[in-house]
Amino acid sequence: MPTLTMPTVLSFDRKLEPSDAVMYSGNWSEISKTNGWEPIELFDRRNRAVKSNFKQEVLNDEEELKKQIEEPNLSWGDDATLPSNRDTLRVSFSLRVLGGINKPSACNKKDYQDKFTGVIDSYKSDIGFGELANRYACNIANGRFLWRNRVGAQEIIIYVKHNSLDSPLIFNAYDYPLNKASSEDDSVATLGGIIEQGLNDDNNIFIEVDAYAKLGNRQRVWPSQEMVLKIPKGEKSRHLFALDGNAAMHCEKIGNALRTIDDWQTGSESPIAIEAYGSVTQRGVAYRSSRNDFKTLLTKWMNDDDLSDIEKHFVVAMLIRGGVFSEGE
C-alpha cells in the first residue's frame, strides 16, 4: 500500500472557542455578588525614563554615550489599574467546546480524509478525550488564563457555570500548581467531563468563567497589548486592548493558556502550549524535533505505524487547536 502523504489542502477548525475576556474591578468581600462590578477603563501614562539600551558603537564612544545618557527616554502608552477603593480584579469570558474532530474543515484528498476519519474514530472509542479534557479543565481551575494578573495575587477564586450544574464549580487557583498539566480533583473531573461531552459531539457545550484575583487597591492590571506596526517616533508606543472602553484580554491569549497542556515533550520543566513544533517564542526554543513534531507523528499514524497513547494525545490536541497543515508553504 502506498504511503499516505499530507494533502496540499488540509486544515482543521478550532474546537475550543473562548471569547475575549473583559476586566472589572470590585472588592473581595463581594465576589459572590453579580452587581457592583465596574469596568476598568484605560488611561494614558507618560513617563520620563532613563535610557538603558545602546548600540555597541555608542558604548565604544564615551562622548556619544554621555550625550545619549543625558537625553530623556520619553514613554507614552496605555495603562490600567484598580481604583483606590477596590482591591479585586474580575476577568470574565465564555467558552464553547465543539465536536467534529474526525473531519477536517478542508481536505483535497478523499482517501486521506477517509483514513483520517477512521483513525480519529478509533482514538475516540479506544482512548477517548478524557485525558485532554481534564487538562483543559485544569487550566481553567488554576487560572492560567490570567497570565500576569495571576502573579503575586493574594487570593484567586474561579467560578465556572454550565447549565448542567445546580451551582457553579468553585476553584481556589492556588490549589492547582501551574507546573502540573492534569489533576485528580473531583471538581476538575466534573469540569473535564463537561468539556469531554463537547469534544465527543454529545452536547453543545457553553461554559461561563469568572475569575477573581485579590490584588490590592490601586494595583496595576494587565490587559492584552495590541500589536501596532510602524509607530511614528514620538507617538503612543503601547496600545492596550479594550472592548467598549473596558480593559480586556484577547481570546487568542485565553486560548493559548487553555491549551498549555504539553508536558509530553522533553526539555521544558513545565507544560507548554500545544504547537506543531513545541515552539515557545519567549524562549526562542522549539521543544519538538523532526521526530516528534505534529506532521511527522500524524503521517506515521495515518500509515499505521505504532504511536504511543501520549503521541496520539498530542496529535489530537493539535487538531483541537486547529490550523492549516497543508504540505507546502
The type of residue at 217 is N
Over residues 210-259, the pLDDT tens digits come to 999 999 999 999 999 887 777 666 567 778 899 988 999 999 999 999 99
Band of pLDDT at residue 55, cut at 50, 70 and 90: confident
Taking the complete model, does pTM exceed 0.85, yes or no? yes
Q: Which residues, at least 6 apart from 281, have a Cβ–Cβ distance to it below 8 Å?
A: none
How does DSSP classify residue 174?
Answer: G
**In whole angstroms, what is the distance from residue 49 CA to residue 162 CA?**
48
Over residues 135-154, the pLDDT tens digits come to 999 999 999 999 999 999 99
**In whole angstroms, what is the distance from residue 275 CA to residue 262 CA?**
9
80 has a pLDDT exceeding 80:
yes
**In whole angstroms, what is the distance from residue 230 CA to residue 232 CA?**
6
H helix runs in the chain, sequence order: 56-59, 62-70, 110-126, 130-141, 186-199, 251-258, 294-302, 309-321
Which three cell numbers, joined as nine digits, stand for 134? 481534564
Please provide the average confidence, as pLDDT, over all residues in the chain. 90
Better-scored residue on pLDDT, 62 or 166: 166
Note the pLDDT of residue 66.
67
Do residues 143 and 158 touch, judged by C-beta distance below 8 A?
A: yes
Note the pLDDT of residue 134.
98
**In whole angstroms, what is the distance from residue 150 CA to residue 206 CA?**
24
265-274, Cβ contacts within 8 angstroms, sequence gap of 24 or more: 265/292, 269/179, 270/178, 270/179, 271/179, 271/180, 271/181, 274/314, 274/317, 274/318, 274/320, 274/321
Residue ranges of domains in the chain: 15-51+73-118+127-263
Provide the 10 A C-beta neighbour count for residue 230. Answer: 4
